[in-house]
């Protein structure tokens, strides 16, 4: 009793706000329990609604696009066995073709078998990269691509040469490090930072340059042939010839003029010279080597055909000249005849006039 009276007295003294706080603190656990129960009920109801779709969703019509997709999927499933059968037939047909096809050495299909028949040539072929400072980056990149082509062709050749890359450094090495990191793993190639004259005897060297007066007739496989690694677009004319002369090295040019007539200049790219030598080692025929390697844009024509076409043009010009002279003679004759006729008519007219003027 005393406690209840004390509680009422406190309520009266403290006022309504404190009374509300006391009530809320006493009723808080019960209130939180009721909230949790209601929340669980709401969640269970939402789950049931999600599991049971509404009537509007069940009767929603399918669009034409969805219908087409369903039809295609159905056809795909139905034709599964048919596709499997076709694949089996194709495999069998290819297998029969491989069995019936004879073994061939052409192209690169049987490259592994071809590589067994390779005979390495003792001929040394050097690309001199000492012109690095004379080229801009664009030309350095072109030279890099040409060297890549030389390496690939030498690896595929039936008679690969002893390939040397000398004076390797500067812009070229930097470009290769950045764009072709695999060059350090290249096989059958000697890449050296030194100049070729430091490890090859001068007597064995022959510098290939289009400015040389000496024409190469045969390849001596005991020699080392040097190709100038320079892409200059004809800015440095005669530079390789001058360098060979200054170093006291023998020089020569490929016998291009003896077999080929070209529309463009006789200066060839590094990879073209390299590939022509590889082709000659295989065929031992300069003309065949030139026409196998030279690109069509060079307009290469055999010299005998070029001579025939020249003689034909001259004959044609003579015939045309003769026809023109004949026609001019005929025209002159016609003019003379016409003048004679005019003179005769004038004479006749004058005689008639004199006769008429005489008195009878």
- Per residue, what are the HEC states of the chain? CHHHHHHHHHHHHHCHHHHHHHHHHHHHHHHHHHHHHHHHHHHHHHHHHHHCCCHHHHCCCCCHHHHHHHHHHHHHHHCHHHHHHHHHHHHHHHHHHHHHCCCCCCCCCCHHHHHHCCCCCCCEEEEECCCHHHCCHHHHHHHHHHHHHHHHHHHHCCCCCEEEEECCCHHHHHHHHHHCHHHHHCCCEEECCCCHHHCCCHHHEEEECCCCCCECCCCCCCCEEEEECCCCCCCCCCHHHHHHHHCCCEEEECCHHHHEECCCCCCCCHHHHHHHHHHHHHHCCHHHHHHHHCCHHHCCEEHHHHHHHHHHHHHHHHHHHHHHHHHHHHHHHHHHHHHHHHHHHHHHHHHHHHHHHCCC
Contacts of 243 (CB under 8 A, 6+ apart): 207, 228
If you average pLDDT over each of 69-73, 98-102, 116-120, which comes out highest? 69-73
Annotated catalytic residue 232: yes
Share of the chain above pLDDT 70, in %: 62
pLDDT above 70 for 13: no
- CA dist 6 and 275 (Å) reads 117
pLDDT above 90 for 352: no
Q: Angle 224-225-231 (CA atoms, 0-180°, nearest 5)? A: 140
**pLDDT tens, residue by residue, 259-313:** 888 776 678 999 999 999 999 999 999 999 998 998 877 667 787 765 555 554 5
For the chain, what is the mean pLDDT? 76
Query: 228 falls in which pLDDT band (50, 70, 90)?
Result: very high
Query: 169 falls in which pLDDT band (50, 70, 90)?
Result: very high
The predicted model gives 53-68 an average pLDDT of 69
pLDDT above 50 for 225: yes
CB-based burial of residue 315 (10 Å sphere; 0-12 exposed, 13-18 middle, 19+ buried)? exposed
Output the pLDDT for position 78. Answer: 87
Output the pLDDT for position 90. Answer: 84
**Lowest mean per-residue pLDDT among 159-163, 304-308, 335-339:** 335-339
Query: Edge-to-edge strand order for the sheet containing 162-166?
Result: 189-191, 162-166, 124-128, 224-228, 205-208, 250-252
Tell me the whole-structure pTM to 2 decimals. 0.56
pLDDT above 70 for 48: no
Q: Which of 180, 204, 232, 250 is an active site residue?
A: 232
């Amino acid at each position: 009793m005393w406690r209840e009276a004390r509680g009422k007295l406190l309520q009266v003294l403290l006022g309504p706000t404190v009374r509300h706080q006391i009530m809320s603190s006493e009723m808080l656990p019960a209130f939180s329990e009721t909230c949790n129960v209601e929340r669980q009920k709401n969640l269970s109801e939402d789950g049931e609604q999600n599991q049971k779709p509404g009537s509007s969703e069940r009767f929603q019509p399918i669009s034409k696009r969805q219908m087409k997709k369903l039809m295609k999927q159905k056809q795909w499933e139905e034709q599964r066995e048919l596709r499997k059968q076709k694949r089996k037939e194709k495999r069998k047909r290819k297998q029969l073709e491989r069995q019936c096809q004879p073994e061939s050495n052409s192209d690169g299909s049987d490259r592994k078998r071809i590589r067994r028949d390779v005979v390495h040539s003792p001929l040394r072929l050097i690309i001199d990269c000492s012109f690095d400072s004379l080229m801009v980056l664009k030309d350095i990149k072109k030279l890099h691509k040409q060297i890549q082509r030389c390496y690939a062709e030498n690896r595929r050749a039936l008679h690969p040469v002893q390939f040397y890359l000398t004076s390797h450094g500067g812009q070229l090495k930097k470009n290769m490090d950045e764009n072709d990191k695999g060059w350090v793993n290249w096989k059958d190639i000697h890449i050296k930072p030194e100049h070729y004259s430091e490890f090859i005897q001068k007597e064995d060297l022959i510098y290939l340059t289009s400015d040389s007066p000496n024409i190469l007739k045969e390849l001596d496989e005991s020699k080392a042939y040097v190709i100038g690694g320079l892409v200059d677009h004809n800015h440095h004319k005669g530079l390789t010839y001058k360098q060979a002369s200054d170093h006291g090295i023998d020089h020569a040019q490929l016998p291009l003029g003896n077999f080929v007539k070209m529309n463009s200049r006789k200066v060839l790219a590094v990879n073209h010279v390299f590939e022509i030598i590889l082709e000659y080692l295989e065929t031992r025929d300069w003309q065949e080597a030139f026409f196998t390697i030279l690109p069509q844009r060079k307009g290469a024509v055999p010299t005998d055909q070029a001579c025939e076409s020249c003689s034909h043009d001259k004959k044609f010009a003579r015939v045309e000249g003769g026809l023109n002279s004949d026609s001019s003679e005929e025209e002159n004759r016609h003019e003379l005849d016409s003048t004679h006729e005019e003179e005769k008519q004038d004479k006749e007219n004058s005689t008639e006039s004199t006769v008429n003027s005489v008195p009878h």
